[in-house]
C-alpha cells in the first residue's frame, strides 16, 4: 500500500516536471505524453487529470489523444514488436509473429512498419531493430534478450 502511495507521488512529480518543460509550446500535448511515457514506460491513468489541468485541456481531450495513438498506453507496452508491413510479410513475418506470440503471449505486438523494408523481415526488441530475421535467429534473440 505504501508502495502505491510512493508511486503515485512519484508519477505526479514527474508529470509536473514534464508539463513545466512543455506547457508554453504550441500543441504541447504530444510532447508531454511522449516524455511521460519515456520516463515511466506508460501513462498512469491517475495522471490524466493533472495533464489536463496543466495544459488547460479537458480530461476527455487528453484521454481521447492517449487512446487514439498506438504509441500511448495506460500500461507498459510489449517488449517485442514484429513488423507486419507488406514488405516484411513478403519475407515471412507472419510466421515470426506466431512464433513470438507462442513464447511471449501478450508481450508481442504487430507494428506497421519499422522502415527497413529492403532488409525484411524486421523486428523490434526493447527499441533495437533487427533486420533479415529468421525463425532460428528469432529463437536465439528471444532466449537472450527477453526476460522470461
Alpha carbons 88 and 92: distance in angstroms, whole number: 6
Listing from the earlier edge strand, what are the strands of the sheet with 128-130? 108-111, 80-83, 123-125, 128-130
Candidate segments 5-13, 60-68, 96-104, 138-146, binder of other proteins by CB under 8 A: 60-68
Q: Which cell is 3 given?
A: 508502495
- Candidate list 2, 26, 102, 106; residue touching other proteins; CB under 8 A: 26
Q: Are 119 and 131 in contact (CB under 8 A)?
A: yes
CB of 89 to other proteins, least distance (A): 7
CB of 4 to other proteins, least distance (A): 28
Binding mask 62-101 for other proteins (x = CB under 8 A): --xx--xxxxx-----------xxxxxxxx----------
CB of 148 to other proteins, least distance (A): 25
Candidate segments 7-15, 40-48, 58-66, 96-104, binder of other proteins by CB under 8 A: 58-66
Binding site for other proteins (CB under 8 A): 26-31, 33-34, 55, 61, 64-65, 68-72, 84-91, 111-120, 122, 127, 129-132
Amino acid at each position: 500500500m505504501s508502495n502505491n502511495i510512493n508511486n503515485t507521488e512519484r508519477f505526479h512529480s514527474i508529470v509536473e516536471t514534464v508539463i513545466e518543460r512543455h506547457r508554453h509550446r504550441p500543441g504541447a500535448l504530444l510532447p508531454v505524453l511522449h516524455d511521460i511515457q519515456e520516463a515511466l514506460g506508460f501513462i498512469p491513468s491517475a495522471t490524466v487529470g493533472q495533464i489536463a489541468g496543466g495544459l488547460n485541456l479537458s480530461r476527455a481531450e487528453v484521454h481521447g489523444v492517449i487512446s487514439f495513438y498506438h504509441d500511448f498506453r495506460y500500461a507498459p507496452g510489449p517488449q517485442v514488436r514484429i513488423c507486419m508491413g507488406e514488405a516484411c510479410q513478403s519475407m515471412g513475418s507472419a510466421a515470426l509473429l506466431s512464433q513470438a506470440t507462442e513464447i511471449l503471449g501478450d508481450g508481442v505486438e504487430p507494428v506497421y512498419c519499422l522502415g527497413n523494408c529492403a532488409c525484411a523481415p524486421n523486428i523490434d526488441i526493447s527499441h533495437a531493430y533487427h533486420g533479415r530475421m529468421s525463425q532460428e535467429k528469432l529463437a536465439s534473440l528471444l532466449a537472450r534478450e527477453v526476460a522470461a
